[in-house]
Amino acid sequence: MKALLLRDLKLAVRAGGGFGLGLAFFLIVVVLVPFGVGPESGLLSRIAPGVLWIGALLACLLSLDRIFALDWEDGSLDLLATAPVPLEGIVTMKALAHWLTTGLPLVLAAPALAILLNLPTEGFVWLVVSLGAGTPALSVIGTFGAALTVGIKRGGLLLSLLVLPLYVPTLIFGAEVARRGAEGMATQVPVLMLAGITFAAVALLPFASAAVLRINLR
């Protein structure tokens, strides 16, 4: 399992779907927003949590189609499916590799980019907490979507259409945690809801993804 994780990390970086792509897109979104809505600091402070979360969500979405595509193209996916390792464990390692190369860098970069949107300093910790708790769910849900569309030519658009509705609850509660934290309000309820979504996704979706892969590989 460890060897599979290291292999996927190397493939993600070499294929251009790792640290640079997601961070660059995240930066572009954050930089362009003030040009679109104006430089008024009060407005930027109010919309900063939502903008940062939308940017992180879309950045995670960029590399989802690569999770299984490379293995499908070179035949490695068939070998992995017949390996003595459970397919559910393989799916979990691929989701973890996606989070380490995409989600984690976004979590670490978010406070620096929040400065550009004039997010109150009180909200920095809660922004990191919300992204740290929510981005694993984005990777796991995205892995499920990638399993559904594996083998489909130009399935990136279909993958986005399938995954985006599933991302909405995570987006709502993640942005709410950051917003309440920035305004000094209680954050317990949205944090618990966000954590519940992530735990449910991590517990259930690897089995659903493995089942879908078995059907697609027949």
Tens digits of per-residue pLDDT, 133-191? 999 999 999 999 988 888 777 667 888 888 999 999 999 999 999 999 999 899 999 99
pLDDT value, residue 4? 73
Residue 176 to residue 191: CA distance in whole angstroms:
9
pLDDT value, residue 15? 59
Residue 78 to residue 88: CA distance in whole angstroms:
14
Instruction: Please say whether the beta carbons of 88 and 210 come within 8 A.
Output: yes
216: number of Cβ within 10 Å: 17
Question: DSSP secondary-structure letter at 38?
Answer: -
Phi, psi of 6, rounded to the nearest 5 degrees: -65, -40
pLDDT value, residue 133? 95
pLDDT value, residue 166? 94
Instruction: Please say whether the beta carbons of 172 and 196 come within 8 A.
Output: no
pTM of the model: 0.90
pLDDT value, residue 155? 67
Instruction: Please say whether the beta carbons of 142 and 67 come within 8 A.
Output: yes
Instruction: Please say whether the beta carbons of 215 and 153 come within 8 A.
Output: no
Residue 60 to residue 142: CA distance in whole angstroms:
8
pLDDT value, residue 16? 54
Give the CA dihedral 67, 135, 162, 208, nearest 10 degrees.
70
CA angle 192, 197, 198 (to 5 degrees): 100
Packing angle between helix 19-37 and helix 41-62, nearest 10 degrees?
A: 150
- DSSP per-residue letters across 108-147: HHHHHHHHHTT--THHHHHHHHHHHHHHHHHHHHHHHHHH
Which residues of the chain fall below pLDDT 70?
11-19, 154-155
Residue 211, H or E segment = helix 188-216
